[in-house]
Amino acid sequence: MTTIASYGWTNFTGVTALYNEASPFGQTFYTNEAYKLDSCRFYIYCGDGVTGNVCVKIYEVAGYDSVPTAGAIATSDSLVFNALQGFTTFWFTGSNQILLNANSYYLIAVDTSGTNSSYASPYLYIGVDNTSPTHEGTLIYSDWGTWYNGATYDVIFDVYGHSKK
């Protein structure tokens, strides 16, 4: 397995709270060659008493600062919230093990919709660099269905796959 894109643990400076309304939430990245998507990791943990499912979605975007203009092209297997703490691996299986094209931009985003949390109570926290972000990609998130660019943070993440050279 090959690391396709990463903004590693050494960049971790804190967490940001995710709410049901601010999901999906993730980071853009670039692929310089074609890869078959296998898995990804995020640094995440859940709030007290919160239950539900979480997955990761992949979107095509036009560039590092671009937001999606269409739906997700792949969705990971879902995980149960109350068991998540630290680096969490999400697997893409079956038809969701898509080919990421060479010389293309993507958004990888944690999707937390469909939980028992309210806007006033954060239920998932995601690791970020909120002091000196240096990843070439951009934090992108959705709030009530509208996509935004959050360029002042970078998300801690890894994307893995197999080269298709």
Q: How many CB atoms lie within 10 A of CB 102?
A: 13
| Mean pLDDT along residues 31-60 | 88
CATH number of 2-163: 2.60.120
Q: Where are the domains of the chain?
A: 2-163
When the pLDDT of each residue in the chain is averaged and rounded to a whole number, the result is 86
Task: Say how many residues make up the chain.
Answer: 165
Dist. CA 22–CA 150, nearest whole Å: 12
pLDDT above 60 for 22: no
Quick one: tokens of 157? Answer: 């993440």
Give the pLDDT of residue 54. 83
Model confidence over 27-44: pLDDT tens digits?
Answer: 999 999 999 999 999 998
Model confidence over 134-154: pLDDT tens digits?
Answer: 999 999 988 878 899 887 899
pLDDT above 70 for 121: no
Give the pLDDT of residue 60. 95
| Mean pLDDT along residues 69-83 | 87
Give the pLDDT of residue 119. 46
Give the pLDDT of residue 81. 73
Dist. CA 84–CA 111, nearest whole Å: 14
Dist. CA 85–CA 123, nearest whole Å: 12
